[in-house]
């Protein structure tokens, strides 16, 4: 577990951003999203809304103890209840599903990119430990942690997708799938 923080907004407050979103006409939502992403240096709407949620928890928690745990990509269990339980490639399903079906053919990452995965049982244990720790603090506070398995569960990007295809091929009718042919774009700099 790595102690983290809720990252502050660069040019405005959480309340200002929520007000902008709430009062924005439907036709302008796309432009506002682009503006917020670029102004505050967020990579996607997902990262933006996660940050908004964390700020809301921080602002509205009152005297309650709260814990935010940011896991790496969660995947199947390593040991408990049995190895491989929940054995699916859902952590990156929005990418793996189109790739293994042959609908998407390019990565915007180099083939040597290493993904950090955390087994589900390890993450569940981290939740229990942080809940116990949070309950034992002298005064109510909001703690933010990052949960990962360090170097133990790293996966090369190219191996992850090849293994994902093998998994799906084994667990679904092979006629439903197309053999993926993909290429790696390389470094983004």
Judged by DSSP in three states, 29 sits in helix
pLDDT score, position 127: 92
Task: Reply yes or no on whether the pLDDT at 15 is more than 50.
Answer: yes
Helix (H) or strand (E) holding 73: strand 73-75
Q: At what angle do helices 29-39 and 14-23 cross, to 10 degrees?
A: 160
Q: What pLDDT, in 10s, does the model give residues 66-105?
A: 889 988 877 777 788 877 676 555 555 666 667 666 676 6
Please tell me what DSSP assigns to residue 8. Answer: P
Number of neighbours of residue 12 by Cβ within 10 angstroms: 13
Rounded CA gap, 77 and 84, in Å?
5
What average pLDDT score do residues 58-72 get?
87
pLDDT of residue 59: 86
Non-local CB neighbours of 187 within 8 Å, separated by 6+ positions = 110
pLDDT per position as a tens digit, 105-126: 666 667 677 777 788 888 899 9
Q: How far apart are CA 157 and CA 115, in angstroms?
A: 6
């Amino acid at each position: 577990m790595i102690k983290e923080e809720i990252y502050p907004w660069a040019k405005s407050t959480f309340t200002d951003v929520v007000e902008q979103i709430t009062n924005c006409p439907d036709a302008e939502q796309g432009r506002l999203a682009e503006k917020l992403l670029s102004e505050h240096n967020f990579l996607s709407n997902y990262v933006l809304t996660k940050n908004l949620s964390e700020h809301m928890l921080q602002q509205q928690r009152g005297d309650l103890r709260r814990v935010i745990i940011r896991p790496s990509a969660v995947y199947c269990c390593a040991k408990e209840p049995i190895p491989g339980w929940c054995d699916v490639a859902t952590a990156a399903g929005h990418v793996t599903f189109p790739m293994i079906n042959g609908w998407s053919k390019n990565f915007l990452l180099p083939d040597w990119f290493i993904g950090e995965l955390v087994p589900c049982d390890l993450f569940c244990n981290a939740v229990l430990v942080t809940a116990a720790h949070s309950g034992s603090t002298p005064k109510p506070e909001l703690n933010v942690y990052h949960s990962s398995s360090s170097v133990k569960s790293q996966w090369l990007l190219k191996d992850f997708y090849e293994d994902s295809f093998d998994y799906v091929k084994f667990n679904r009718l092979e006629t439903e799938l197309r053999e993926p042919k993909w290429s790696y774009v390389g470094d983004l700099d």
